[in-house]
């Protein structure tokens, strides 16, 4: 439940609160999270009290009503801490709640949105399957009409929060003649739903992504998002464009922290009688990283402003997501280099973050998908400038 004091704050005061939460609780809590292998529940409750589950939803639906630009500025702050914290609420605030807010029926909005904003209803977005990764149109999970509702069969993989979410937004084929998808809001504890976590994760280790099997799962007719079949892909894209913008901002937050860690190390570590920060080669890595970080930050902010003015700017979002996630990986790689052996051995956050940021180039559209989308749109993009 969001604290009343939080609801009364102007944006700058709220931003400062989240900055302090990041510095005082999230970053110091990383060690304990790594030891436990998951985000501790008391910290999830703190995130909910501070409104992090509600930053994207309008006040009328129980959220804090921040603009996309404000959401992005908040994301720059809390993603200086582990990306896994963000993952704990990202699927609720972005992928799922945005689709419900935009396309849901009045009953669906009433049922889910305030609970999501308060952190009382965690949502997962279940699109990816073994045969349907980058190509979301290859989904094989089916939802066949049966009596007053549907029966779902199939399986999903790589689903963030899939093992502990309260509600799953499941994409399934409702028209097998043309493969048209529909989105369903499914109770994760419904009979026939089973989840399994992987034994190993390469990055995001404290937020393992789930496989979900649907074995003759019965859902009512009113579980179809918006009440009409066949609009699943369009509905998915609403949440995906929002999430891509946030992932770009996440990459900026991660790169800022990595650069801070690398720069601090370079000042403290001495070799050949001087701080390694004095070596031109190290300065080159740090200076270049800063320039790229700030270019990424400016691109995301610009993109967020356009989003607020006229809805999701698809290609600009692709450019921001592509540039910022590749940039964060470069910065992470340089940070490991600056740390030397301590970037490989020991408990510095840098190697953990190096593994974490790698995934940002894969989820919410692999870099190559964005390159392809931008290349295809290039003539129109260039003509519009």
Ligand X SMILES: Cc1cc2nc3c(=O)[nH]c(=O)nc-3n(C[C@H](O)[C@H](O)[C@H](O)COP(=O)(O)OP(=O)(O)OC[C@H]3O[C@@H](n4cnc5c(N)ncnc54)[C@H](O)[C@@H]3O)c2cc1C
Residues of this chain that interact with ligand X (CB under 6 A) are 91, 125-128, 133-134, 158-160, 204, 209, 359, 362-363, 366, 368-369, 372
The SS3 of residue 216 is strand
CA distance 291 to 273: 28
- Is the CB of 202 or the CB of 337 nearer to ligand X? 202
Q: Is 216 buried (19+), middle (13-18) or exposed (0-12) by CB count in 10 A?
A: exposed
- Of the pair 18, 236, the CB lying nearest ligand X is at 236
Q: Which residue has the tokens 């026939």?
A: 192
> Cβ closer to ligand X: 50 or 240?
240
Q: How far is the CB of 243 from ligand X (least distance, A)?
A: 9
Pick the closer one to ligand X by CB: 104 or 207. Answer: 207
Give the start-end residues of each E strand in 62-165.
123-126, 142-146, 149-159
Dig out the tokens for 217 from the structure. 């799962």
Three-state secondary structure call for residue 200: coil
* Cβ nearer to ligand X, comparing 264 with 368: 368
The residue sitting closest to ligand X, measured at its beta carbon, is: 133
Sign of CA dihedral 224, 127, 145, 220: negative
**Which residues have a catalytic role annotated?**
364
- Nearest approach, Cβ of 239 to ligand X (angstroms)? 10
CB under 8 Å to 155, separation ≥6 — which residues?
A: 129, 130, 141, 211, 212, 213, 214
In the complex, least distance from residue 125 CB atom to ligand X, rounded to whole angstroms: 5
Least separation in angstroms between residue 320's CB and ligand X is 17
- Phi and psi, residue 156, nearest 5°: -120, 155
- Least distance between ligand X and beta carbon 20 (Å): 28
């Amino acid at each position: 439940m969001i604290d009343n004091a939080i609801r009364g704050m102007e944006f700058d005061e709220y931003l400062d609160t989240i900055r302090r939460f990041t510095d005082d609780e999230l970053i110091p809590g990383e060690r304990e999270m790594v030891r436990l292998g998951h985000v501790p529940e008391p910290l999830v409750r703190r995130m909910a009290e501070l409104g992090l589950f509600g930053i994207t939803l309008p006040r009328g639906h129980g959220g804090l009503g921040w603009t996309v630009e404000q959401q992005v500025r908040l994301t720059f702050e809390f993603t200086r801490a582990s990306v896994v914290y963000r993952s704990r609420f990202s699927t609720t605030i972005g992928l799922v709640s945005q689709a419900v807010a935009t396309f849901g029926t009045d009953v669906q909005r009433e049922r889910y949105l305030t609970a999501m904003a308060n952190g009382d209803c965690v949502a997962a977005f279940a699109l990816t399957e073994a045969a349907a990764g980058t190509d979301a149109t290859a989904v094989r999970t089916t939802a066949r009409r049966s009596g007053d509702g549907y029966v779902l069969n199939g399986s999903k993989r790589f689903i963030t929060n899939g093992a502990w979410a309260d509600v799953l937004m499941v994409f399934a084929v409702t028209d097998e003649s043309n493969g048209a998808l529909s989105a369903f809001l499914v109770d994760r504890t419904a009979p026939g739903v089973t989840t399994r976590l992987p034994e190993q994760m390469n990055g995001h280790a404290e937020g393992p992504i789930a496989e979900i099997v649907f074995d003759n799962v019965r859902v009512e007719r009113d579980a179809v998002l918006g009440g009409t079949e066949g609009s699943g892909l369009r509905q998915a894209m609403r949440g995906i464009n929002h999430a891509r913008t946030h992932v770009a901002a996440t990459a900026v937050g991660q790169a800022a922290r990595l650069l801070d860690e690398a720069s601090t190390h370079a000042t403290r570590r001495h070799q050949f009688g001087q701080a390694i920060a004095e070596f031109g080669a190290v300065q080159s890595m740090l200076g270049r990283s800063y320039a790229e970080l700030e270019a990424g930050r400016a691109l995301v902010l610009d993109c967020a402003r356009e989003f607020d003015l006229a809805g999701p700017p698809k290609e600009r979002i692709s450019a921001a997501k592509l540039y910022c996630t590749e940039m964060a990986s470069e910065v992470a790689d340089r940070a490991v280099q600056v740390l030397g052996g301590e970037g490989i051995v020991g408990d510095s956050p840098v190697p953990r973050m190096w593994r974490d940021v790698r995934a940002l180039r894969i989820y919410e559209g692999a870099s190559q998908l964005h390159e392809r989308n931008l290349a295809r749109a290039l003539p129109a993009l260039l003509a519009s400038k």
